[in-house]
Chains A and B, each alone.
Chain A
């Protein structure tokens, strides 16, 4: 058999390489196709800024869901990002390389645990604990924040370790030669140099938290209500879609796709920020 010519192979591979981007376009197109007519009819203002969600009487306001999504995402960041970064700094600056080889994959195991399992632990362990200590229903935005904080740990940790590893060794040696302690070198030089990589890790963790569905459905309580405290039950954008998708029809279903558009747009903006931030790092290294 004669081998195919390089030109032909190149053309086929070019087609294959476009698959990912075509999928992305198809996903955007289908979600927007289902959701946009709804947005045009109800009006984006009424959809985004009304807190009245009663699909059976034609009220479609997702403000409570936006608020709940923001609460749990910020909560997850406050809990998960410092912990992940602290772990990354400890592992890459203050512990022997052997420890990193063992500890990093152990923490990355968390990324492989299915989200339903996190949700279940949240329901059986965390929610009763919160109910006992702080009162409230237990199934709450706080519970969701803690679960999500744990779920974003591996993302923040791995990307932060990469970011710290990319800081040239000379920076550390320079600081130490000037008489700084290791911690001063880390705090004043290394962390500054790794800033954009650390930021990218945080943004990607944020994307993961805002997009998480099953764990949040199980622990957040899902009440449609503007949250006023972390102990309140709340329903996120993702939970809204997943909870009602099973039986929604007509306008109601389109409203869920419109919720999907809101989520999609937020994620795309976060991705663009993360990419820009990582690029700045790559640019700075050159």
Chain B
């Protein structure tokens, strides 16, 4: 009896230490970046253009590039993702076809970003002659975030109580009207969660973006201009040893935006779960 208690104590202690170690790694990664980077952050850094290859000045074009690229990607992917989710959850039953769709979506989610980069380069940049551009980068990212949007939207739609649909249908609404006026509005927080997750992923993406959107310093004036995202800017600063201080500053801006997006997502998700539980 005693041996078993000791075994249990030891196991819990080891597992607890492993969990603490993991948490310590999280704290270290975030703490390190913020400690080195926060002193570099200032309004001037965020709102001025880089000078001298990024050695001096700020990161305004990179912030604009990141925001434009991510929002365009989501603008393209969102209708496709929600449409797919509505089809899967409302218009069809489980069949070999839906299983194939799900398997395809899972595979797409597992493809490494460098493969997306290769594809975006050969298809959007070269074959469709978009060049290194905002458009080519956004379309590549849109394909990349599509699986996330499909999955989170489908989950959100499935969690809407069946009886709400039945009420809507029984007062004479068509299935599509029910989707538009009953199902989608109540699934909205879940869908927004997916949007935020996708946004976070596209903010941090580097490999797929560098080969499709390029790395121009200039503020873009149109969809066919090349842009440089914060992640790409940071990569170039760090890898080519241009400026460690500016690299830290950019990293802090990047990590802070990811943290903000995560916090928003978490808040939304909790609201969603709380409401579902009611």
Q: Mark A residues whose CB is within 8 Å of B.
A: 3-6, 9-10, 12-14, 16-21, 23-24, 26-27, 30-31, 34, 82-84, 86-87, 89-91, 94-95, 103, 105-110, 112-121, 123, 125, 150, 153, 157, 181-184, 186-187, 204, 207, 210-214, 217-218, 238, 241-242, 245, 256-257, 260, 263-264, 267-268, 270-271, 274-275
A-B contact pairs, 21 of them (CB 8 A): A9-B91, A13-B84, A14-B87, A21-B105, A24-B107, A27-B116, A27-B143, A30-B127, A86-B14, A90-B12, A106-B26, A114-B234, A119-B238, A120-B247, A204-B110, A214-B206, A238-B112, A245-B121, A257-B122, A263-B115, A264-B115
Chain B residues, Cβ within 8 Å of A120? 234, 238, 247, 251
- Shortest CB distance A16–B (Å): 3
> Is A114 a contact of B108 with CB atoms below 8 Å?
no
Asked if B262 is at the interface (CB within 8 A of a chain A CB), the reply is yes
| Alpha-carbon separation in the docked complex, A181 to B5 (Å) | 7
> Is A23 a contact of B114 with CB atoms below 8 Å?
no
> Is A26 a contact of B110 with CB atoms below 8 Å?
no
| Alpha-carbon separation in the docked complex, A53 to B234 (Å) | 30
| Alpha-carbon separation in the docked complex, A249 to B77 (Å) | 32
Q: What is the number of residues of chain B that contact chain A, defined by CB distance less than 8 Å?
A: 81
Asked if B16 is at the interface (CB within 8 A of a chain A CB), the reply is yes
- Known contacts: A94-B15, A153-B25, A242-B207. The answer to whether A116 contacts B115 by CB under 8 A is no
Chain A residues, Cβ within 8 Å of B143? 23, 27
| Alpha-carbon separation in the docked complex, A210 to B107 (Å) | 15
| Alpha-carbon separation in the docked complex, A186 to B22 (Å) | 21
- Shortest CB distance A183–B (Å): 4
> Is A83 a contact of B18 with CB atoms below 8 Å?
yes
With beta carbons under 8 angstroms apart, the residue of A26, A34, A113, A242 that contacts B117 is: A242
Contact with A along B251-262 (1 / 0, CB 8 A): 100110011011
- Shortest CB distance B168–A (Å): 13
- Known contacts: A30-B123, A87-B22, A241-B118. The answer to whether A115 contacts B29 by CB under 8 A is no
- Known contacts: A105-B266, A107-B26, A245-B121. The answer to whether A19 contacts B80 by CB under 8 A is yes
Asked if B47 is at the interface (CB within 8 A of a chain A CB), the reply is no
- Shortest CB distance B68–A (Å): 18
Q: Mark B residues whose CB is within 8 Å of A.
A: 4-5, 7-8, 11-12, 14-16, 18-19, 21-23, 25-26, 29-30, 32-33, 79-80, 83-84, 86-88, 91, 100-101, 103-108, 110-119, 121-123, 127, 143, 146-147, 150, 174-177, 200-201, 203-207, 210-211, 231, 234-235, 238-239, 247, 251, 254-255, 258-259, 261-262, 266
Q: Nearest 10 CB-CB pairs, A to B?
A: A211-B112, A114-B204, A16-B83, A86-B18, A21-B104, A90-B15, A13-B87, A183-B8, A17-B87, A213-B207
| Alpha-carbon separation in the docked complex, A18 to B105 (Å) | 10
> Is B113 a contact of A121 with CB atoms below 8 Å?
no
> Is A110 a contact of B83 with CB atoms below 8 Å?
no
- Known contacts: A3-B177, A120-B234. The answer to whether A84 contacts B22 by CB under 8 A is yes
Name the CB-closest residue of A to B142.
A23
Name the CB-closest residue of B to A238.
B114
> Is B19 a contact of A210 with CB atoms below 8 Å?
no
